[in-house]
Structure 1
């Protein structure tokens, strides 16, 4: 491809509907969706994408049934026990964005262990957004900024570039993909998506594969990103 996005974010939607369509419990959709994370991470790494941000669990997901939340809390352990060696072999670095402290201690330990194990890898950064909400992210960032100003650690002269440094995810996103046909942002990366290209794919996340990712990247390649300016053919 002539134009590859550096930072890609994906709202992994449709696990529950995929399972329901097959007469399976919602947890089966989440399990299959975890396998898709492995598939897409390996492909993104192969293509040279620098950072892949996956919306795994939002601050609003705590409203779901307790049995589903319980399974989602166990899923990181299932995923990393199965795939951590493959991630290491492919030089993929794991990071996370969000507030882990609401999760059970075991879940926190699994995620932190994966982060430490892969910390020195230099390939794709696989960022898992877990207990993440963009409004909460910005609120926490501004509270930290206000504390620094109040304590005399910095002047009250915040710029847009400095604002980003107070967020869980400082990078601007080139491409956002949402699977399963819904066309909304759902409190995800509100600051970082300011000039992102948005693609809403009808494929449910458990069925999203290398070909589906390739189709989205080709669509991205066809877009003219002007960042508020004019393209070369306009006066």
Structure 2
């Protein structure tokens, strides 16, 4: 990866270490990804601020601390296969790709998907595949996944996403409408086996055709 603005990433990770309980492995993944390459040019100066930034189509790039928290909750292994719902600019997928074997990402907006695919390829993230589609349907062709996460809020996690995660796998998502909670779901052989709450969050809504 490029070393441009590496010192800013170092300072960002120091802040995240104080703000979150994310593992050093996750923090190292955040440090490895040049966030400035994923934000619009006019927002490049703010790339390492720990806050969301607009990326077009009414969507945002998540704050780095939220990316770290969600990656940590997934507890990924290097051999894991992950489903992402909501590619956006591709930043969250890039951080996740530093932690697992493959990321299959579904984006509703064709322009964002195309830009993310090109950006990820340019930066060498060959293990991330991106397609345009309704995130509620997931990407069944590559299932089962070891983990899944949503970068957008759903009133409830769509059943097809749960079904595409293997038994024993994990799903992390912001759930709710006006009031959202970050939840971690453990999947069993007959659906959700365990659900834990990890605090209030604020995400853009999950978009789809249903």
Higher helix share: 1
Normalising by structure 2, we get a TM-score of 0.25
Higher Cα Rg, which structure: 1
